[in-house]
């Protein structure tokens, strides 16, 4: 009888020791990153509309890659009135789909979040092949209805 009592007490103590937090092994932090992990690229985004003040037909494009040229699309080509990068994104507007400066091409000053709801009243700097503007402001509204493409980078 005494023996079975001792066994019960030992069993209870063994259960307590196994369940105590000190008895559970803690994982050690790894000094090296897992070789199977890949660095994710920064996701950039923009929002643009064919109407002033973010009206009419709009498109929120996300998952853009830094430095890649994006055509605004046939429904928006030369019709963009509002353009705004997402937070953490800065963009340049382009006259041509390939952002070239040839044959009347030009690109804009950087646009930062929240962008502009009315390109017709915004004076953005313009650079062009003929250097007529040379990075100077071309006047209010120069970019209205001239946007065919854009490229963006993280802030």
Number of folded domains that form the chain: 1
The pLDDT assigned to 105 comes to 80
For residue 32, is it within any domain? no
State yes or no: pLDDT of 114 exceeds 80.
yes
The pLDDT assigned to 143 comes to 84
State yes or no: pLDDT of 17 exceeds 90.
no
| Phi and psi at residue 57, to the nearest 5° | -85, 125
Task: State how far the Cα of 115 lies from the Cα of 86, in Å rounded to an integer.
Answer: 8
The pLDDT assigned to 92 comes to 93
For residue 141, is it within any domain? yes
pTM given for the model:
0.68
The pLDDT assigned to 124 comes to 76
Residue 136: half-sphere exposure toward Cβ, Cα within 13 Å: 7
State yes or no: pLDDT of 6 exceeds 60.
no
State yes or no: pLDDT of 39 exceeds 60.
no
CATH number for the domain harbouring residue 118: 2.60.20.10
State yes or no: pLDDT of 3 exceeds 70.
no
For residue 19, is it within any domain? no
State yes or no: pLDDT of 13 exceeds 90.
no
State yes or no: pLDDT of 139 exceeds 70.
no
Residue range 112-120: mean pLDDT, rounded: 93
Q: Looking at the chain, how many residues does it have?
A: 155
The pLDDT assigned to 9 comes to 52
The pLDDT assigned to 38 comes to 57
State yes or no: pLDDT of 42 exceeds 80.
no
For residue 35, is it within any domain? no
**Which residues constitute the domain of residue 76?**
44-154
For residue 131, is it within any domain? yes
């Amino acid at each position: 009888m005494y023996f079975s009592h001792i066994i019960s007490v030992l069993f209870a103590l063994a259960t307590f020791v196994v369940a105590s937090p000190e008895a559970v092994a803690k994982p050690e932090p790894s000094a090296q990153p897992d070789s199977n992990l890949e660095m994710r690229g920064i996701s950039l985004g923009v929002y643009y509309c064919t109407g002033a003040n973010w009206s009419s037909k709009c498109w929120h494009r996300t998952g853009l890659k830094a430095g890649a040229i994006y055509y605004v699309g046939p429904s928006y080509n030369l019709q963009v009135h509002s353009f705004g990068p997402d937070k953490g994104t800065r963009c340049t507007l382009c006259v041509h789909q390939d952002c070239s400066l040839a044959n009347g091409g030009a690109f804009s000053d950087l646009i930062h979040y929240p962008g502009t709801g009315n390109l017709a009243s915004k004076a953005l700097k313009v650079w062009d092949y003929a250097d007529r503007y040379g990075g100077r402001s071309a006047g209010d509204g120069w970019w209205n209805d001239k946007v065919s493409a854009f490229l963006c980078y993280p802030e």
